[in-house]
Structure 1
Amino acid sequence: MSAPETDTTDAGTTTPGVAVGTTTAGTGVPAAEADADALRERALASLTTARARTTLLTDSVDEPDLVAQHSPLMSPLVWDLAHIGNQEELWLLRAVGGREAMRPEIDTLYDAFEHPRSERPSLPLLPPAEARRYAAEVRGRVMDLLEGADFHGTRLTEAGFVFGMIAQHEQQHDETMLITHQLRKGPAVLAAPDPEPAPPFTGPAEVLVPGGPFLMGTSGEPWALDNERPAHPREVAPFWIDTTPVTNGAYQAFIEDGGYDTERWWSPRGWAHIRQHSLTAPLYWRRDGGQWLRRRFGTTEAVPAEEPVLHVCWYEADAYARWAGRRLPTEAEWEKAARFDPATGRSHRYPWGDADPGPEHANLGQRHLRPAPAGSYPAGASPLGVRQLIGDVWEWTSSDFLPYPGFRAYPYEEYSQVFFGPDHKVLRGGSFAVDPVACRGTFRNWDYPIRRQIFSGFRTARSEAV
């Protein structure tokens, strides 16, 4: 059977919810004006949502916890807070608005490339009250700027890109701050309802993704970041992929079968790493008699067998896949499983189509503080029936973080370009800690293969038998 013809147009070439045409139906308002109003509303909503989350994450702890470094892997929460405000000032007030610097003396303090995380507690950082005032003053001026913003004329402002970039930046730091909350010791300070209970998943364990070309990446998604671009054809051989992420219960079977004690399941670097650091289970797990327990945001609970496994590094994911007689999917395979519709040959924005994520589609936005049971969100499944490709847990792939053909760094090299190479592995799909503004079918995350504090899990794949 021949593969469907690949659609060479890129999904998402217009901003979702923005009218297209010469006038807006029924209003007589010029479309350009209506487009600007819709973009302004989208930017406002995205910035406001991000700031509400930042406030929750920083107001929920006292001052000692704000200024403390809870792990050398993470910044003090107060650094993230002022850094968010500083980046907003740099890009929106200065680069777009042409305003004078409000606090030029702090620019280097909050430059992520100037000072590694381990050094940040020793810097003369703004104290919490001053950091809050600074971020609030920046935001007030940004609201004034947004009222009269022109969404045409420059690459930064076209389709509101720079506002989307800043909203995504803040949400990415909110996820980082949530990781810090998980690392901190002490009683729980955050609360959220659990995901809706889901009946045990009884569908097929894996699905076959057809071989052939598909369109990977994007050239038209207005707020996509540079590493997602450009859209380009990619050929993928047929392969099987797990219908759901690997669960805690499945991963426990790997542990109980001596997975951490059997060298043949591990890559040489992975084996050396787990031996050096005495790893025997995912981060935050401990055995109490015959039961596995885990720490989660200040509470201790039995490890729920039905949830996707969380806080595993790439080496652990790779070893489990080998033990299971499978492998991790490549990044291209993951994206084809998530976006490709065999019936039309088209790549959608999301597994369920082109509509923005809703609560019926995926577990996103810190709406819950844990993954949903494997098999949840049938409305968010891909055309082939693969579930939870968006939200719940970031999914490790086998691929190194590399540029796409035709990549151009924008608006600065340090966002992506300096990380390209074999040192970083790609993660896809987002987690429960990711906001929808920073999560797409094309969105790419990356980290070192040893990282476990991130909200990372995985699913496995296998090549179709020849």
Structure 2
Amino acid sequence: MTESPAPPHAGDDEALRERALAALLAARDRTTLLTDSVDDHDLTAQHSPLMSPLVWDLAHIGNQEELWLLRGVAGREAMRPEIDGLYDAFEHPRATRPSLPLLAPGEARAYASEVRGRALDVLESAPLGEGPALVRSGFAFGMIAQHEQQHDETMLITHQLRSGPAALTAPEPPRAPDAPALPAEVLVPGGPFTMGTSAEPWALDNERPAHQRDVPGFVIDTAPVTCGAYRAFIEDGGYGERRWWAPEGWAMVREHALDAPLFWHRDVGQWLRRRFGVTEPVPDDEPVLHVSWYEADAYARWAGRRLPTEAEWEKAARHDPVSGRSRRYPWGDEDPTPERANLGQRHLRPAPAGAYPAGRAPCGAGQLIGDVWEWTASDFLPYPGFAPFPYREYSEVFFGPEHKVLRGGSFAVDTVACRGTFRNWDLPVRRQIFSGFRTARDL
């Protein structure tokens, strides 16, 4: 059992340089869209205590780029050492960041722009094929592109939480013409497979190293659980039945009087939702969004099923039983395209369940990449042989039962920060994130 090889450009300096440049420019274009689409008041306001002001994210993106590319790779002196503490995510929780003496919007834009210009100069001359681990295969540049895209997703969450008219627009995702003919679930046979990666050059530390897992056979949903299916759980009294809920989840439901996913409300017998400043009927055929791990777990129990483990999810998404290899993506080793997955904020919603037939895995499951982050049953833990790189605070400090693993990415995730091995994690109470789920069962 092996994993797929690294991308073909992994050892070529010029190909890596082009790849890194494209990733950095794409991230900055998206950051600009997210910050230029609102006025300075919206940039400096805190739209939820769960999130930072948008202007904090903007300057933090520049500060991290300066830290790792200008100081780390190029060894240059700090441009603005006095602001390092302001933009240290571990030093200041999100709820307190508005009280800090943050850079004003114009100053934050100018700082991030100046850092980017200098970083591109570093990229032009940095040796990428070999050398220290931080620059080998362009890792530092890929890490910064991923970091910026992750904050772009965070800023998109803030856009969803802000009140007022829509500031963003996007075309509708493709339909799912063959959805009625798809089976509700598919079989994933038991046996070993390669989990994680040692070959993907821009994989982050928690994805490493590749290792063998033996997973008993199981059955998993062909598509993520839809709003229509989740509505049946609501209408059957799911939020009022303690037996479906983990104790902490039941306490959350009672404390906050929850009766539906975040942003849903009932009006004249109809379920509506607010999505990026627009109120609309909840679409039955779309994957449910903005549910916590506790809600996903309760639905699965109500349905007589369970959430898949992280290893089960990855085997369903990557294992090719014909070759015995683990693919980079469900469809193969090629990078994502618009025909294969709903990624990159091309659309501002998940596609209907059953969309993207070109992106399905060998087992027959679809939409494993993009659309919605999928909660798994697993705690966020290190793989055997894990080594923190390039800093402990990226992954290691979050390991433990407090955080649950999400897989697959969402419509808000860029391709550079989404792989078959990519691991996300969050507290099981989180609902503002672009999270959904699918269920599984034993044979």
- TM-score, length-normalised on structure 1? 0.94
The reply on whether 1:80 has 2:73 as its aligned counterpart is no
Q: Which residue, 19, 37, 47 being the options, matches 2:14?
A: 37
What is the percentage of aligned positions where both structures have the same residue? 77
The reply on whether 1:12 has 2:5 as its aligned counterpart is yes
Q: Is the 8 A contact 1:172 1:438 kept in 2?
A: yes
2:80 match = 103
Give the Cα separation in 2 of the matches to 1:336 and 1:226: 20
2:395 match = 416
Q: Which residue, 40, 48, 56 being the options, matches 1:63?
A: 40
1:24-64 CA-to-partner distances (Å, cap 9, x unmatched) read: xxxxxxxx7xx111000000000000000000000000001
Unaligned runs of 5+ in 2: none
Alpha-carbon shift at residue 12 of structure 1 (Å): 3.2
Q: Is the 8 A contact 1:339 1:382 kept in 2?
A: yes
1:201-235 CA-to-partner distances (Å, cap 9, x unmatched) read: 32110011000100000011000000000000001
1:161-202 CA-to-partner distances (Å, cap 9, x unmatched) read: 000000000000000000000000000010000112222432
Give the Cα separation in 1 of the matches to 2:241 and 2:421: 36
Give the Cα separation in 1 of the matches to 2:157 and 2:62: 20
> What amino acid is aligned across from residue 181 of structure 1 in structure 2?
H
Q: Which residue, 235, 243, 256 being the options, matches 1:264?
A: 243
Moved more, 140-149 or 83-92: 140-149
1:253 match = 232
Give the Cα separation in 2 of the matches to 1:201 and 1:226: 40
Give the Cα separation in 1 of the matches to 2:253 and 2:320: 40
The reply on whether 1:176 has 2:163 as its aligned counterpart is no
> What amino acid is aligned across from residue 119 of structure 1 in structure 2?
T
2:318 match = 339
Q: Which residue, 252, 257, 275 being the options, matches 1:296?
A: 275
Give the Cα separation in 2 of the matches to 1:209 and 1:220: 25
Alpha-carbon shift at residue 344 of structure 1 (Å): 1.5
Q: Which residue, 187, 205, 213 being the options, matches 2:165?
A: 187
2:286 match = 307
Alpha-carbon shift at residue 148 of structure 1 (Å): 0.8
Unaligned runs of 5+ in 1: 1-6, 19-31
Alpha-carbon shift at residue 340 of structure 1 (Å): 0.3
Q: SS of 1:215's equivalent?
A: strand
Q: Which residue, 321, 339, 350 being the options, matches 1:360?
A: 339
The reply on whether 1:136 has 2:113 as its aligned counterpart is yes
Alpha-carbon shift at residue 273 of structure 1 (Å): 1.0
> What amino acid is aligned across from residue 118 of structure 1 in structure 2?
A
Give the Cα separation in 1 of the matches to 2:101 and 2:335: 41
Give the Cα separation in 1 of the matches to 2:109 and 2:182: 49
User: What is the aligned residue count?
Assistant: 441
1:25 match = none
> Runs in 1 of length 4+ with deviation above 6 angstroms?
none
> What amino acid is aligned across from residue 200 of structure 2 in structure 1?
E
> What amino acid is aligned across from residue 105 of structure 1 in structure 2?
E
Give the Cα separation in 1 of the matches to 2:139 and 2:271: 46
1:350 match = 329
Q: Is the 8 A contact 1:409 1:417 kept in 2?
A: yes
Q: SS of 1:341's equivalent?
A: coil
1:115 match = 92
Q: Is the 8 A contact 1:16 1:355 kept in 2?
A: no
Give the Cα separation in 1 of the matches to 2:8 and 2:392: 28
1:230-254 CA-to-partner distances (Å, cap 9, x unmatched) read: 0000010100000000000000000
Matches for 1:271-282 after TM superposition, within 5 Å: 271-282=250-261
Alpha-carbon shift at residue 342 of structure 1 (Å): 1.1
1:226 match = 205
The reply on whether 1:149 has 2:149 as its aligned counterpart is no
Moved more, 394-403 or 196-205: 196-205
Q: SS of 1:293's equivalent?
A: strand
The reply on whether 1:462 has 2:441 as its aligned counterpart is yes
Alpha-carbon shift at residue 16 of structure 1 (Å): 4.0
Q: Which residue, 30, 35, 49 being the options, matches 1:53?
A: 30
The reply on whether 1:126 has 2:103 as its aligned counterpart is yes
> What amino acid is aligned across from residue 310 of structure 1 in structure 2?
L
- CA distance 1:358–1:17, change in 2 (3 Å): farther
Give the Cα separation in 2 of the matches to 1:196 and 1:431: 15
Give the Cα separation in 2 of the matches to 1:131 and 1:83: 9
1:384-405 CA-to-partner distances (Å, cap 9, x unmatched) read: 1100000000000000000000
Give the Cα separation in 1 of the matches to 2:225 and 2:175: 18
Alpha-carbon shift at residue 17 of structure 1 (Å): 4.1
- Please report the RMSD computed on the Cα atoms of aligned residues, expressed in angstroms: 0.8
Give the Cα separation in 1 of the matches to 2:371 and 2:173: 10
Give the Cα separation in 1 of the matches to 2:311 and 2:280: 36
Alpha-carbon shift at residue 272 of structure 1 (Å): 1.1
Give the Cα separation in 2 of the matches to 1:81 and 1:87: 10
Give the Cα separation in 2 of the matches to 1:412 and 1:264: 42
Q: SS of 2:181's equivalent?
A: coil
1:438 match = 417
Q: Is the 8 A contact 1:254 1:320 kept in 2?
A: yes
Matches for 1:317-332 after TM superposition, within 5 Å: 317-332=296-311
> What amino acid is aligned across from residue 148 of structure 2 in structure 1?
E
Q: Which residue, 162, 173, 186 being the options, matches 2:140?
A: 162
Q: SS of 2:377's equivalent?
A: strand
Q: SS of 1:445's equivalent?
A: strand
Q: Is the 8 A contact 1:16 1:356 kept in 2?
A: no
Give the Cα separation in 2 of the matches to 1:390 and 1:17: 22
Q: SS of 1:241's equivalent?
A: strand
> What amino acid is aligned across from residue 103 of structure 2 in structure 1?
L
2:66 match = 89
Moved more, 261-270 or 451-460: 261-270
1:140-179 CA-to-partner distances (Å, cap 9, x unmatched) read: 0011111111112100000000000000000000000000
The reply on whether 1:392 has 2:371 as its aligned counterpart is yes
